[in-house]
Amino acid sequence: MKLDVARIRKDFPILEQTVADRRLVYLDSASSSQKPRVVLDAMTDYYETTHANVHRGVYGLAVEATERYEGARDRVARFIGAPSSRGIVFTKNVTEAINLVAHAWGRTNLGPGDAVLLSEIEHHANLVPWLMLAEERGVELRYLPMADDYSLDLSDLDRLVDGVKLVAVTAMSNVLGTLTPVRRLADAAHAAGALCLVDGAQYVPHLPTDVTELGCDFLGFTAHKLCGPTGIGVLWAREELLEAMPPFLGGGEMIRDVRLDGFTPNEIPWRFEAGTMPIAEAIGLGAALDYLDGLGMEAVREHEVSLTGYALRHLTERFGDELTIHGPAEPSARGGVLSLALRDVHPHDVSQVLDQDGVCVRAGHHCAKPLMRRLGVGATARASLYVYNDTDDVDALADSLGSASDFFAL
Amino acid sequence: MPGLEDLYREIILDHYRNPRNRGELDAPPAHRVEGFNPLCGDEIIVYLDVDSDRIADIRIAGQGCSISQSSASMMSSAVKGRTTEEARAVTRAFKAMMSIHESSLDGEPDGLVGGADGSGGGDGDVKLGDLEALRGVVKFPVRIKCATLSWNTLAQGLDEATEPV
């Protein structure tokens, strides 16, 4: 099924607005996607009809709120092909999901002399928690390098993975769009006796996801990049791993018993959900997954490959050597993330001109400073595509880049 | 909505294309100070040669957007040859201009800032000259940090260069 973008656009209230009498061209979904009305309605309906704290009261509202919150957990499990919802932990975002693993699993299993294999194309969220652990415990960090075609260079994988306890990689680069060979990396990790963590922040919103097929042990992703609300993310982990992990944050909900001289932690997954959780956001996340499944994730992927191909072709034809696109040339090897460098015009200046035309792109280092250094740039202007974007948006981007090119011509 | 011409005045683009005092000084004897804008990755390096309380020479290195680069270039021209006290006064006046609330922009007399709201601390007679061109940046709040990066770096360098031994 092909996506009907004109119909999809009507589902997103924010896209009705105009900027300078032109339609809003939102090309920053890799930062945060827009929200369809069904997600907003689900959250409002919850607050208007059902809200009470979960897992607490015996009264009707509290029971119903708990059912809806736990229903969202089941919904997440179905969306990523998890064997059961006991492996689904709600977090604030991917950053917290990875920090949870670094604290609860890392501090139990990693010490001086242990190693973690990362890659040099990671987002800071999958670098800094491990750098903190390296500083604190003397854990060795190794990095898979990026090849010149923007893929991960696996030529030295056997040597790098040897002796590590964890391989932690992104499934899709938020700067390059590169899809990484997660299955191969997970298999290599397991063959080396290590576990595999996948940062799915950019992958899960855009491709059909099945944790069994990916073969990983931990997967983190966030709701606000897949049509859901901010403030809620997910850590999926194999249940036996969660069972063996101590709590991350301490407080209410995560305990079974508290005495003045100690405590007994709760069962999984609630052991990792301290304090009152973002209940409405969990329900909004569930509604977002319903929405995406309604479109069909295969269709979403097909749409983005096609639109990314269009964008790569048209931008290259129009700007030639004036425009560098940092990322794989082949649409099937990448997601719809286009990191652009227009001559030597600074990305801030490019995006300032684009903003005048209502074209929203992200300018900066995209929380991936080691990768920016590898690319030899301080920043890029990044346009990213999603279900509500079409060729008109890409054409508007191209026209606006043309204006920027003219404005900053020497 | 403010237009591009409010931000990118011709003199700004001139400093961006032909930056003044670009380069490095041997440090030491010169003072070398780095400034970063963690949000956008802009970085600037200011080299200061302070000779008996006067900025004998200044050089700017690093990379960034047209606003941060032109502001650094104008800053270097404005303070080169001045005493450290004069340089501090210009810095205060420039930063006061960058903190003016947007609604008070209209009717602001050209060439004179500071003093009126107390934040200028008696720098009311400081003439900003070409630096006035950067006034429009205030209408684009996310870019203010670009314009002030080199000045904050200069202020840090002046503090270091004039520390009592």
For residue range A246-276, list pLDDT tens digits in order: 999 999 888 899 999 999 999 999 999 999 9
Write out the residue range of the structural domain in which residue A153 sits.
50-294
Residue of A nearest to B4 (CA): A353
Q: Are A282 and A229 in contact (CB under 8 A)?
A: no
- Exposure of B105 in the CB half-sphere (CA atoms within 13 A): 15
Q: Are A139 and A130 in contact (CB under 8 A)?
A: yes
Catalytic, A367? Answer yes
Domains held by chain A: number: 2
Provide the shortest C-alpha distance from residue A397 to chain B (in Å): 17
Q: Supply the pLDDT for residue B100.
A: 67
Nearest one of A298, A252, A302, A258 to A277, comparing CA atoms = A252
Whether residue A313 is found in the same domain as residue A286: no
Q: Does A356 touch chain B (CB under 8 A)?
A: yes
Whether residue A289 is found in the same domain as residue A301: no
Q: Supply the pLDDT for residue A286.
A: 98
Distance between CA atoms of residues A110 and A165, nearest Å: 8
Please answer yes or no on whether A407 and B42 come within 8 Å at the CB atom.
no
Residues of A in contact with B3 (CB under 8 A): 356
Whether residue A270 is found in the same domain as residue A332: no
Whether residue A145 is found in the same domain as residue A198: yes
Whether residue A229 is found in the same domain as residue A127: yes
Nearest-CB residue to A410 (from B17, B40, B143): B17
For residue range A140-187, list pLDDT tens digits in order: 999 999 999 999 999 999 999 999 999 999 999 999 999 999 999 999
Residue of A nearest to B63 (CA): A378
Q: Does B1 touch chain A (CB under 8 A)?
A: yes
Please answer yes or no on whether A346 and B65 come within 8 Å at the CB atom.
yes
Does residue A259 sit within a domain?
Answer: yes
Domain endpoint, select from A294, A314, A341: A294
Q: Choosing among B1, B4, B7, B34, which should be mutated to test the A contact, i.e. which has the most A CBs within 10 A?
A: B4
Prior bond of A181 cis (ω within 30°): no
Q: Supply the pLDDT for residue B103.
A: 43
CATH number, domain of A145, equals 3.40.640.10
Distance between CA atoms of residues A185 and A218, nearest Å: 13
**Alpha-carbon distances of B25 from A187, B45, B46, rounded to whole Å:** 53, 11, 9
Going from the N-terminus, what domains does chain B have, and what CATH number goes with each? 4-161 (3.90.1010.10)
Whether residue A200 is found in the same domain as residue A305: no
Nearest-CB residue to B41 (from A349, A365, A410): A365
Q: Supply the pLDDT for residue B111.
A: 41
Does residue A18 sit within a domain?
Answer: yes
Does residue A160 sit within a domain?
Answer: yes
Please answer yes or no on whether B43 and A410 come within 8 Å at the CB atom.
no
Does residue A316 sit within a domain?
Answer: yes
Whether residue A124 is found in the same domain as residue A247: yes
CATH number, domain of A350, equals 3.90.1150.10
**Alpha-carbon distances of A159 from A155, A183, A188, rounded to whole Å:** 9, 18, 11
Whether residue A316 is found in the same domain as residue A396: yes
Residues of chain A whose pLDDT is less than 50?
none
In eight-state DSSP terms, residue A277 is -
Distance between CA atoms of residues A22 and A360, nearest Å: 13
Q: Supply the pLDDT for residue A41.
A: 98
Distance between CA atoms of residues A43 and B6, nearest Å: 41
Does residue A33 sit within a domain?
Answer: no
Q: Does A179 touch chain B (CB under 8 A)?
A: no
Domain endpoint, select from A238, A267, A294: A294
Domain endpoint, select from A236, A269, A294: A294
Q: What is the ipTM of this complex?
A: 0.78
Q: Are A326 and A341 in contact (CB under 8 A)?
A: yes
Nearest one of A100, A150, A151, A108 to A125, comparing CA atoms = A100
Does residue A39 sit within a domain?
Answer: no
Q: Supply the pLDDT for residue B106.
A: 46
Phi, psi at residue A189, to the nearest 5°?
-60, -50
Phi, psi at residue A161, to the nearest 5°?
-80, -20
Q: Supply the pLDDT for residue A19.
A: 86
Whether residue A287 is found in the same domain as residue A311: no
Q: Supply the pLDDT for residue B96.
A: 86
Provide the shortest C-alpha distance from residue B4 to chain A (in Å): 7
Whether residue A289 is found in the same domain as residue A310: no
Does residue A397 sit within a domain?
Answer: yes
Whether residue A372 is found in the same domain as residue A383: yes
Type of residue numbered A223: A
Whether residue A177 is found in the same domain as residue A276: yes
Does residue A44 sit within a domain?
Answer: no
Q: Does B39 touch chain A (CB under 8 A)?
A: yes
Q: Supply the pLDDT for residue B1.
A: 64
Per-residue pLDDT of chain B in tens (165 residues, 90 and over written 9): 678 888 888 888 888 888 999 998 888 888 899 998 877 678 899 999 988 899 999 999 998 888 899 999 999 999 999 999 999 999 998 898 888 654 444 444 444 444 344 344 445 567 777 888 888 888 888 888 889 999 999 999 988 887 765
